[in-house]
């Protein structure tokens, strides 16, 4: 190979600086060691030459060989050194060493030739002793020269070591700056690349010089040959001289030995220096490692730079996508504007239609007037008044709505809400739709958020209700059905069917009588004030219940149950003892009744001026309207805490909404509230439990009530005598002499933190579990997973905090991050299902930081005792557990119902901003503080705005205003104390799930079955039966065990038939049956195969529920069959201890046609070993049905390649052993063929009994097995 080619190959192989310097070290090490070895061999050669002088011919032959070897060695070493030089230091050392070595070699050879010439010239003078001594002295001088040369070599070695250490210091200084080193290295490589050609030319010149040296050596060889010829003539003389020389050289030999010792010491020093050199090499290697680390750091920095470039590109793409979204938003705004214009157009059209309807109404009013003219005078007056009321209601409603709208500065949304609530109120009255009433309540809450008061909304709804009723009556009058229009909705019709006749109602409630007040009760007057044949109007009451606080105060100066005859006002009569001082009473109005009629003749003709007599006969007051419903008197609230009172208020509201509006109460148990006040009805019934109160409320709204709870629009009797009808008292209640404050139910409970709990449950879907979505965030599942047993605690909160989060990208990071602190326990039972449910992960914001502002308002707190699985969730789990494919079905159940449930749910509002900042040293940080303290933090990170969940932008300066408005439209901002839904399941279901998941990957009974053999040919002695399974498996990694059983399924026919199984695939397997006794009288077509599949459920994805708890132990081992003709015994060691009663089933795999079918029989067992016998068949001529030749050639697809092998006459088969525990007696059957649901375990294999127990199982058998297995 040419030098340039070698150089190119070698440089191409030096990929890194580490490789470069490693090769440099190798070259220098080889160079020093070779040079020293050559010098040492030189010394040994010279020593040999002095100690064992030979003939001149041999001497010169040996000299020729030494010179040729040295030249060969030096030449051979010059080539690789020239090729591998890569740095200036190596090249300098190599050039210097090469020149020095060549010079020393030439000088040495010339000196030796001169010495030999001197010996030849002085042969004639050898007889003279003086010449001989002089020659000896010359030899002694040579030895001294050799010693001097050794000293010189040692000095040169020290110099080279010092040079090398200096070079190492230089390298170390260069390593300190990786970048400078790389630049220098690049320049150095460029210089060396340029010098390679020069070094090649120098090598060529060096080769030419060597050729000249070789020619000179050849001439010297010729000269030596001539000298040899001369020496042959003088051999005898030399021998004589040699003898004498030996005698004289002996003292010199002793000196030489001393020199040799000295050389050995020098050699030891050389070894020590070599060791030092190796240590320096190790130091160099460590420096190379540091350089490698720096190179890795450079690569990492380069990769990070690439990542930052990619992030910048992603940010540009995100910016483009945001621009596209902005354009879409603009288009959406345009569409909204167009829709607004359309709505405005529709509104204008509706106004025109309204004008047209008004015109039609006027026409109908004229028609009504015409109809009224044809009726009696009484009907004319009534109709006129009715139309006047319609007109008045229309005007009053319009004025009221406009006044409220202007007062609260309604925007378009506000007017839409007003129109919507009026429409819903109208529909609720027309259809009595409970769902519409719920929607009405939602809109009412939104109007309250706009600033409307309860009183304003109540007035508007009342006006709308009156207007709707009048419109209904107007429509009915036009259609001629005015007699049936007092009640026009479903509930009203239901009540109307049960109402008494008008006269009976008047008489029952004494509607035409006055009210007589005796100071503690209200009684009907003795005589009627009005006639009975008047106008009766009964309608369902749309008003809310009213609360009257602190009733019947004895220290009060007011008693509404007493009447002052002098000024027709209430007086200061002391309250009767029968009126108890109570915390409150609540009126639940169901219906309102008004009655108008002419005054009775007796009342009109009463001329006595005695007011006392007037009041005794006709009462003190007359009510224009009475309310029918239920009244509750409540006391003992002072003993309760504020939280208990809040919960009672909420409970009362839930029961009321449930009874009246059919709303579902999401709680089953109220006993945990641990407080219930003293409650009494107006007729004296004591409601002392939550159930009694619930039943009373349901009966109130489902059955007719005949209790008057309030008298309204009251007129003094004395004014009626003179034709006056002004009301001086608005209302009066039985059992209530005075009260402190009157509140509607909504006003009473508005401050309770529990009142909105049912709405939150529905709005935030709190009955759903939580799943981990593809973004590794918790979100609601699709279906209801839990129900509440007890009412959760609700705590008010007023916290503001900032969260900084780095998004996580893997499920493992999710459970390792701070999110795991939100979990009450670290149970990962459902982790396999969770992993399967997450299909992809969004990595778009992997290196971004999420800044979130969260404002807490409420915390809903639960415990595990407060919740339970929903019935549908429990049933879905049960169905999945009973399925043959529980993994698939459980996965589906948890995907739909969730994996987790939070026991703490935080409500409030949140804002978010995403910034590209991946340098934060944490993945999650929470800072609770005030807004003012967070402002500098926002400035540091250049956060100028935030986004709501709906995408609205909130500027930083608008945050205080946003914080003040967070009571509206709350949202879930955090989950805490999260538990697994697995934890709330029943203990039995938990245990079943654990068995299915089988975390230890133990073998289990996957499936069992019984198959008839009716389709076999009775004339055959060997049979094949294909058995299909349903459902199919995921793969064919399973093992089958079984036996042939009798017709009555009670006997194992193992002595008559031998069966083995193979050809496994996901859809089934095959059974190979051999008749052991061909003279058997048993008809195989009347028998059955009992089979059992074992495997790892998580791999097959099928796991029958019928034998899941039955423990299984399975062993599979190769057995080498012995080549003798006799039956052989074998044993298998079991990893666990066997017990009497255990069932052992065996299957073998044999895949060669050269070996006939065999039978396996268990013959003994010990605590940890079973012994079985492989039996030779009774006969050899067999005919398999259903192509059994193909079966013999391939047993099962999974193990056919290694289940049996023939090696020099030895046959190896695979034997599988299944052991079933004695703790169980029966094996349940999956396919239930022929009505068989289970069978005894002993039908599937051999029973370990006391008879076949052998505590001292044959040691020879074990030893033979080991020997055979070894062979």
With both helix axes pointing from N to C terminus, report the angle between 871-881 and 987-997 in degrees, rounded to the nearest 10. Answer: 40
> Percentage of the chain surpassing pLDDT 70?
66
- String of DSSP letters for 209-232: HHHHHHHHHHHHHHHHHHHHHHHH
Q: How far apart are CA 477 and CA 844, in angstroms?
A: 69
**Given pLDDT bands bounded at 50, 70 and 90, which one contains residue 297?**
confident
Confidence of residue 47 (pLDDT cuts 50, 70, 90): very low
Confidence category of residue 787, pLDDT binned at 50, 70, 90: very high
Instruction: Quote the pLDDT of residue 45.
Output: 53
| Cβ density class 1098-1127: b for 16+ within 10 Å, e for less | bebbbbbbbbbebebbbeeeebbbbeeeee
Q: Is 901 helix (H, G, I), strand (E, B) or coil?
A: strand
Q: 235-373 vs 129-175: helix axis angle to the nearest 10?
A: 10
Amino acid 785: pLDDT? 92
Question: What is the C-alpha separation between 822 and 974, in angstroms, rounded?
Answer: 10
Residue 105 to residue 922: CA distance in whole angstroms: 71
Q: Which two tokens stand for residue 186?
A: 């690049």
Q: How far apart are CA 298 and CA 292, in angstroms?
A: 10
CB 1149 within 8 Å of CB 1199:
yes
With contact defined as beta carbons under 8 Å apart, do 1154 and 1123 qualify? no
When mean pLDDT is compared across 420-424, 491-495, 764-768, the lowest value belongs to: 491-495
Is-cis flag, bond preceding 455, omega within 30? no
- Give the CA distances from residue 1038 to residues 303, 615, 803, 1025, in Å, rounded to whole numbers and listed in that order: 47, 101, 52, 18
CB 260 within 8 Å of CB 26: no
Identify the pLDDT of residue 487.
40
Q: Which of 568-582, 615-629, 760-774 has the lowest average pLDDT?
A: 568-582
Residue 374 or residue 861, greater confidence: 861
Max mean pLDDT among 223-232, 238-247, 960-969, 1178-1187 falls in 960-969
Residue 380 and residue 373 in contact, taking contact as beta carbons nearer than 8 Å: yes
Of 24-33, 135-144, 1141-1150, where does mean pLDDT reach its minimum?
Answer: 24-33
Whether 20 shows a pLDDT value over 60: the answer reads: no
Higher-confidence residue of 920 and 233: namely 233
Per-residue pLDDT tens digits for 570-619: 444 566 667 889 999 999 999 999 999 989 888 888 877 778 888 889 99
Angle between helices 434-449 and 412-431 (to 10 degrees): 150
Would you state the pLDDT for residue 549? 94
pLDDT in tens, 1155-1171: 555 788 888 898 888 98
Max distance between CA atoms of the chain, in angstroms, equals 197
Q: 512 pLDDT exceeds 60?
A: yes
Tokens read off for 836: 């399967």
885-906 residue pLDDT tens: 998 899 899 999 998 899 999 9
CA atoms within 13 A on the CB side of 1123: 8
Q: What would the mean pLDDT of 398-418 be, rounded to a whole number?
A: 78
* pLDDT confidence band for 27 (50 / 70 / 90): low
Q: Which helix (H) or strand (E) holds 101?
A: helix 88-121
The confidence score (pLDDT) of residue 194 equals 66
Task: Please give the pLDDT value at position 1070.
Answer: 93
Which helix (H) or strand (E) is 455 found in, with range? helix 454-478
- Do 1094 and 1005 contact (CB within 8 A), yes or no? yes
Q: How does 692-727 read in b/e, with b if 16+ C-beta sit within 10 Å?
A: ebbebbeebbeeebebbbbbbebbbbbbbbeeeeeb
625 has pLDDT over 70:
yes
Which pLDDT belongs to residue 820?
Answer: 46
Q: Which residues of 5-32 are buried (b: 16+ CB within 10 A; e: fewer)?
A: ebbeeebeebeebbebbbbbbebbeebb
The answer to whether residue 918 scores a pLDDT higher than 50 is yes
More confident residue, 1215 or 1182: 1215
Residue 349: what pLDDT? 76
Do the bridges between strand 793-796 and strand 1238-1240 make them parallel or antiparallel, or are there none, so unpaired?
A: unpaired
What mean pLDDT do residues 12-32 have? 50
pLDDT of residue 1200: 40
Provide the pLDDT for residue 331: 75
Q: Which residues contact 1024 (CB under 8 A, 6 or more apart)?
A: 1070, 1071, 1072, 1073, 1184, 1185, 1186, 1187, 1188, 1191
- Residue pointed to by tokens 């996965």: 891
Residue 812 confidence class, pLDDT cut points 50, 70, 90: low
Instruction: Give the whole-angstrom CA distance, residue 268 versus residue 275.
Output: 11
The pLDDT tens digits for 521-539 are: 899 999 999 998 889 998 8
Query: What's the pLDDT score for residue 7?
Result: 37
Going by the DSSP 8-state scheme, the letter that residue 950 receives in this structure is T
Phi then psi for residue 216, to 5 deg, are -60, -40
Whole-number pLDDT of residue 386: 64
The residue that leads in pLDDT, 515 or 89, is: 515
The mean per-residue pLDDT over the stretch 404-433 comes to 77
Lookup result for tokens 């080769």: 207
Question: Which pLDDT score, from 0 to 100, does residue 337 have?
Answer: 76
Query: Average pLDDT, stretch 76-93?
Result: 44
Residues 839-863: tens digit of each pLDDT: 655 544 456 777 788 888 899 999 9
> Tens digits of per-residue pLDDT, 719-729?
887 766 665 66
Instruction: Output 472 or 1195, whichever has higher pLDDT.
Output: 472
- pLDDT score for 605: 84
Reported as a pLDDT band with limits 50, 70 and 90, residue 697 is very high
Position with higher pLDDT, 519 vs 218: 519
Q: 1181: which DSSP letter?
A: -
Confidence band of 199 (pLDDT split at 50, 70, 90): low
- Lookup: tokens for 1224: 């169980």
Model confidence band, residue 76 (pLDDT cutoffs 50, 70, 90):
very low
| pLDDT, mean of residues 555-565 | 80
Q: What is the pLDDT of residue 310?
A: 76
Q: Please, which residues have CB within 8 angstroms of residue 334's CB and are 6 or more apart in sequence?
A: none
Q: Answer for the pair 546, 744: CB distance below 8 angstroms, yes or no.
A: yes
CA distances from 339 to 227, 352, 1086 (A): 126, 20, 81
How do residues 100-129 score in pLDDT, each as one tens digit? 555 655 566 666 666 666 666 655 555 566
**Are 623 and 732 contacting, i.e. CB atoms less than 8 angstroms apart?**
yes
Check: pTM over 0.85? Answer yes or no. Answer: no
Q: Which of 269-278, 366-375, 608-617 is the least confident region?
A: 366-375
Given a cut of 70, is residue 30 above it in pLDDT?
no
Tell me the H-state helices in 52-87: 56-84
**pLDDT at 179 exceeding the cut of 80:** no
Sign of the alpha-carbon torsion through 972, 974, 975, 977: negative
Give CA–CA dist 667/654, Å, rounded. Answer: 10
Confidence band of 96 (pLDDT split at 50, 70, 90): low
Q: Which two tokens stand for residue 398?
A: 């319009």
What proportion of the chain, given as a percentage, has pLDDT over 90? 19
Contact between residue 246 and residue 51 where contact means Cβ atoms under 8 Å apart: no
User: Between residues 494 and 968, which one has the greater pLDDT?
Assistant: 968
Is pLDDT at 281 greater than 50 in this prediction?
Answer: yes
* CA distances for 835 relative to 162, 632, 664, 838, 839, angstroms: 64, 57, 37, 6, 8
Taking residues 668-693, report their average pLDDT.
Answer: 84
Q: To which H or E segment does residue 311 belong?
A: helix 235-373
Contact 978, 900 (CB under 8 A): yes
Between 197 and 1184, whose confidence is greater? 197
* CA distance linking residue 37 with residue 295, whole number of Å: 38
The average pLDDT across 704-723 equals: 84
pLDDT of residue 431 exceeding 90: no
Task: Provide the residue count of the chain.
Answer: 1271
Phi-psi region of 780 (alpha: psi -120 to 50; beta: other; left: phi over 0): beta
- Cα–Cα distance between 682 and 632 in angstroms, integer? 6
More confident residue, 446 or 1051: 1051
Determine how β-strand 667-669 pairs with β-strand 786-790: parallel
pLDDT of 670 above 70 = yes
Query: Is the distance from CB of 1024 to CB of 1070 less than 8 angstroms?
Result: yes
Bridge partners for 868 per DSSP: 787
pLDDT of residue 277: 80
C-beta of residue 267 within 8 angstroms of C-beta of residue 40: yes
pLDDT in tens, 1026-1057: 999 999 999 999 999 999 999 888 899 988 89
| DSSP calls for 391-418 | HHHHHHHHHHHHHHHHHTT--HHHHHHH
Handedness of CA 107, 110, 114, 119 (dihedral sign): positive
Give the C-alpha separation, 371 to 360, whole Å.
Answer: 16
Which of 295-302's residues contact partners 24+ apart within 8 Å by CB, and which partners? 295/16, 295/17, 295/18, 295/178, 297/178, 298/178
| Alpha helices for 910-958 (secondary structure H) | 931-940
Average pLDDT for the chain: 75
């Amino acid at each position: 190979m040419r030098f340039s080619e070698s150089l190119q190959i070698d440089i191409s192989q030096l990929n890194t600086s580490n490789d470069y310097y490693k090769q440099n070290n190798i070259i220098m090490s080889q160079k020093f060691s070779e040079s020293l070895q050559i010098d040492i061999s030189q010394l040994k050669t010279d020593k040999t030459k002095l100690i064992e002088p030979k003939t001149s011919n041999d001497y010169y032959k040996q000299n020729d060989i030494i010179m040729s070897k040295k030249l060969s060695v030096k030449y051979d070493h010059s080539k690789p050194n020239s090729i591998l030089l890569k740095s200036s230091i190596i090249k300098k050392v190599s050039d210097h060493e090469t020149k020095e070595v060549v010079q020393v070699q030439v000088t040495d050879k010339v000196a030796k030739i001169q010495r030999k010439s001197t010996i030849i010239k002085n042969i004639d003078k050898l007889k003279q002793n003086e010449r001989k001594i002089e020659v000896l002295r010359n030899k002694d001088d040579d030895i001294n020269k050799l010693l001097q040369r050794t000293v010189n070599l040692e000095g040169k070695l020290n110099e080279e070591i010092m040079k090398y250490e200096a070079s190492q210091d230089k390298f170390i200084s260069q390593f300190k700056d990786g970048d400078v080193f790389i630049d220098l290295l690049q320049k150095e490589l460029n210089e060396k690349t340029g010098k390679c050609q020069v070094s090649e030319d120098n090598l060529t010149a060096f080769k030419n010089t060597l050729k000249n040296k070789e020619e000179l050596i050849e001439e010297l060889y010729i000269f030596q040959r001539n000298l040899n010829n001369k020496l042959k003539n003088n051999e005898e003389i030399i021998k004589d001289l040699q003898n004498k020389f030996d005698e004289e050289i002996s003292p010199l030999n002793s000196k030489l030995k001393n020199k040799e010792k000295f050389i050995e010491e020098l050699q030891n020093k050389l070894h020590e220096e070599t060791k030092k050199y190796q240590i320096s090499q190790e130091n160099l290697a460590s420096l190379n490692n540091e350089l490698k680390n720096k190179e890795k750091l450079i690569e990492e920095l380069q990769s990070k730079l690439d990542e930052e470039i990619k992030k910048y590109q992603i940010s540009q793409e995100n910016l483009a996508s945001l621009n596209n979204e902005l354009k879409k938003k603009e288009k959406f705004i345009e569409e909204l504007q167009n829709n607004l214009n359309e709505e405005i157009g529709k509104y204008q059209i509706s106004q025109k239609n309204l004008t047209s309807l008004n015109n039609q109404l006027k026409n109908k009013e004229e028609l009504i007037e015409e109809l009224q003219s044809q009726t009696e005078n009484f009907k004319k007056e009534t109709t006129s008044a009715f139309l006047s009321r319609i007109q008045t209601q229309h005007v009053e409603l319009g004025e009221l709505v406009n006044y409220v709208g202007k007062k609260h500065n309604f925007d378009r949304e506000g007017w839409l809400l007003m129109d919507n609530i009026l429409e819903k109120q109208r529909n609720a009255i027309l259809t009595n739709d409970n769902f519409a009433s719920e929607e009405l309540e939602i809109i009412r809450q939104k109007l309250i958020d706009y600033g409307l008061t309860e009183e304003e909304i109540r007035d508007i709804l009342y006006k709308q209700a009156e207007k709707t009723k009048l419109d209904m009556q107007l429509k009915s009058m036009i259609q001629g059905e005015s007699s049936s229009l007092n009640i026009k909705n479903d509930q009203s019709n239901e009540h109307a069917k049960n109402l008494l006749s008008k006269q009976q109602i008047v008489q029952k409630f004494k509607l035409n009588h006055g009210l007589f007040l005796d100071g503690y009760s209200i009684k009907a007057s003795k005589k009627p004030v009005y006639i009975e044949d008047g106008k009766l109007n009964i309608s369902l009451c749309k008003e809310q219940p009213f609360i009257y606080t602190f009733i019947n105060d004895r220290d009060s100066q007011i008693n509404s149950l007493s009447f002052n005859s002098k000024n027709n006002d209430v007086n200061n009569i002391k309250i009767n003892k029968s009126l108890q001082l109570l915390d409150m009473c609540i009126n639940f109005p169901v219906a309102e009744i008004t009655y108008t009629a002419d005054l009775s003749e007796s009342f009109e003709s009463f001329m006595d001026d005695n007011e006392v007599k007037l009041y005794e006969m006709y009462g003190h007051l007359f009510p224009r309207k009475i309310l029918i419903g239920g009244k509750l008197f409540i006391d003992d609230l002072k003993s309760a805490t504020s939280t208990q009172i809040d919960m009672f208020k909420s409970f009362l509201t839930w029961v009321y909404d449930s009874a009246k509006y059919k709303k579902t109460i999401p709680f089953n148990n109220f006993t945990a509230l641990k407080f219930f006040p003293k409650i009494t009805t107006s007729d004296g019934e004591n409601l002392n439990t939550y159930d009694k109160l619930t039943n009373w409320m349901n009966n109130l709204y489902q059955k007719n009530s005949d209790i008057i709870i309030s008298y309204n629009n009251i007129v003094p009797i004395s004014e009626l005598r003179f034709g006056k009808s002004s009301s001086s008292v608005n209302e009066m209640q039985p059992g209530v002499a005075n009260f402190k404050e009157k509140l509607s139910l909504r006003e009473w409970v508005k401050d309770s933190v529990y009142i909105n709990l049912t709405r939150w449950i529905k709005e935030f879907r709190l009955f759903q579990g939580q799943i981990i979505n593809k973004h590794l965030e918790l979100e609601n599942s699709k279906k209801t997973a839990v129900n509440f047993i007890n009412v959760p605690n609700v705590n008010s909160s007023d916290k503001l905090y900032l969260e900084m989060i780095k998004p996580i990208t893997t499920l493992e990071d999710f459970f390792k991050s701070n999110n795991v602190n939100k979990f009450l326990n670290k149970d990962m039972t459902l982790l396999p299902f969770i992993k399967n449910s997450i299909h992809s992960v969004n990595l778009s914001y992997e290196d971004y930081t999420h800044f979130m502002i969260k404002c807490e308002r409420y915390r809903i707190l639960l415990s595990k005792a407060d919740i339970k699985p929903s019935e549908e969730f429990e049933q879905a789990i049960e169905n999945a557990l009973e399925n043959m494919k529980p993994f698939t079905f459980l996965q589906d159940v948890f995907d739909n119902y969730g994996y987790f449930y939070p026991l703490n749910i935080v409500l409030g509002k949140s804002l978010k901003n995403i910034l590209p900042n991946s340098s934060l040293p944490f993945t999650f940080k929470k800072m609770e503080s005030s807004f003012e303290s967070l402002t500098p933090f926002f400035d540091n990170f250049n956060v100028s705005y935030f986004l709501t969940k709906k995408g609205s932008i909130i500027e930083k300066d608008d945050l205080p205003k946003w914080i003040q408005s967070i009571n509206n439209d709350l949202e879930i901002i955090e989950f805490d104390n999260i538990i697994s839904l697995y934890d709330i399941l029943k203990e039995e279901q938990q245990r079943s799930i654990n068995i299915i998941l089988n975390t230890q990957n133990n073998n289990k009974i996957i499936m069992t079955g019984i198959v008839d053999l009716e389709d076999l040919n009775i004339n055959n002695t060997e049979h094949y039966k294909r058995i299909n399974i349903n459902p199919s498996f995921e793969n064919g990694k399973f093992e089958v065990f079984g036996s042939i059983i009798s017709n009555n399924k009670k006997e194992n026919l193992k002595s008559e038939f031998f069966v083995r199984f193979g050809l496994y695939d996901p859809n089934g397997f095959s059974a190979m049956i051999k008749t052991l006794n061909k003279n058997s009288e048993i008809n195989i077509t009347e028998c059955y195969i009992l089979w059992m599949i074992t495997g790892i459920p998580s791999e097959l994805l099928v796991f029958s529920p019928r034998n899941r708890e039955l423990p299984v132990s399975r062993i599979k081992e190769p057995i080498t069959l012995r080549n003798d003709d006799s039956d052989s015994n074998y044993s298998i060691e079991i990893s666990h201890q066997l017990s009497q009663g255990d069932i052992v089933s065996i299957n073998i795999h044999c895949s060669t046609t050269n070996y006939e079918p065999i039978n396996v029989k268990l013959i003994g067992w010990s605590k940890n070993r079973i012994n079985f016998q492989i039996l030779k068949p009774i006969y050899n001529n067999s005919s398999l049905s259903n192509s059994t030749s193909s079966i013999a050639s391939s047993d099962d697809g999974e193990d056919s390649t290694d289940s049996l092998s023939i090696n020099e006459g030895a046959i190896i088969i695979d034997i599988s052993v299944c052991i079933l525990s004695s703790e169980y007696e029966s094996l349940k059957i999956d396919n239930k063929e022929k009505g068989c649901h289970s069978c005894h375990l002993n039908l599937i294999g051999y029973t370990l009994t006391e008879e076949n127990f052998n505590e001292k199982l044959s040691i020879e058998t074990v030893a033979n097995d080991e020997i055979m297995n070894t062979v």
